[in-house]
Amino acid sequence: MRIVITGAAGFIGSRFVELLLGAEHLGYDEVIILDSLTYSGRRENMETALRDSRVSFVHGSIVDADIVDETLRGADAVVHFAAESHVDRSITGARLFFETNVLGTQTLLEAARRHEVGRFVHVSTDEVYGSIPEGSWKEDHILEPNSPYSSSKAGSDLAALAYHRTYGMHVNVTRCSNNYGPRQFPEKVIPLFVTNLMDGFKVPLYGDGQNIRDWLHVDDHCRGIILVLEGGRPGEIYNIGGGTELTNKELTYQLLALMGKSEASIEPVADRLGHDRRYSVDCGKIRNELGYTPQVPFETGLAAVVQWYVDNEAWWRPLKDA
């Protein structure tokens, strides 16, 4: 069987391909990576996967209908990671986010419909729900996105679900909490802070530092997506979380401790525009239906990720110097 993975030169997608190749019981003997290699998509991230004879790479954008049509021809499944994803970049340049995340997703869905692709898993984010002061979101919670990024992802979620309801396609949407792990682009908070501290710079902490996020190791996220790919019910949404809620200040202090730095390395900065206060997903549905449980304890995973950046300066240094 043939599966197409979009955005698999990026942080999460590249790790997903590596784990998918080990899930031989799923029967995918041909894995096609479709990626446009934007600033955060790197050939180096695909090195391990491309050594496997089952994997091939197509350099192209999801908004290019001709490339998408040819790539999806004969596919049995699509797992769609490709997206513009950095909130700060969306605030200063929103148009690209809507073009890629909404129109690109619709281009994929339309090609999948024409070619009668059997399964389509659309990877989204908990940010589409907005902000929740207490409790946790279930999948049927109203969407209240507050940034151009999250609103573009909400639009792509709705497009995916519409293709299920209108055309009967087997579509699933997954909504994850904040990911962390090796090979994450150093504009994101954990690699940004670790690499800043390695260089003797301060770490920028937004506002009062009390914004709360749920942290999910990339391996647990990818295992959850594989469960949805294998057994998700058509038209259903599945939250995937890590179960570790921390304020940004608490996360910062854990990183300072791991790097042997003091709070003097913190630089308070003006809060982000429209900064959501708290995210929290209820993972009961994927746990009860598909048997999902996160396996990487946060303290263990965070320490390993910090060490990865310490040991792999050659990977991140060109990105920060660019």
Angle in degrees, CA 85, 165, 124, rounded to 5? 15
Verify whether residue 126 is a known catalytic residue. yes
Verify whether residue 149 is a known catalytic residue. yes
297 secondary structure, DSSP code? -
Q: Given its phi and psi angles, is residue 279 left (phi above 0), alpha (psi -120 to 50 degrees) or beta?
A: beta
- The candidate with the shortest Cα–Cα distance to 42, out of 15, 71, 6, 14, is 14
Q: Tokens 């929290």, residue?
A: 280
Name the active-site residue from 126, 139, 214, 276.
126
The β-bridge relationship of strands 55-59 and 77-80 is unpaired
> Which residue(s) pair with 246 in the sheet?
213
List phi, psi (to 5°) of 292. -75, 135
Q: Which secondary structure element, helix H or strand E, spans residue 66, and what is its range? A: helix 65-72
SS3 of residue 200 by DSSP: coil
Q: Given its phi and psi angles, is residue 290 left (phi above 0), alpha (psi -120 to 50 degrees) or beta?
A: alpha
Q: Treating both helix axes as pointing N-terminal to C-terminal, what angle do 248-258 and 189-198 enclose, rounded to 10 degrees? A: 40
8 A C-beta contact, residue 226 and residue 26? yes
Identity of residue 52 = D
8 A C-beta contact, residue 146 and residue 131? yes
Residue partners of 20: CB distance under 8 A and separation at least 6: 3, 5, 26, 28, 31, 222, 226
Q: Which secondary structure element, helix H or strand E, spans residue 244, and what is its range? A: strand 244-247
Verify whether residue 144 is a known catalytic residue. no
Name the active-site residue from 28, 149, 238, 292.
149
Name the active-site residue from 18, 35, 84, 127.
127
Catalytic residue list: 126-127, 149
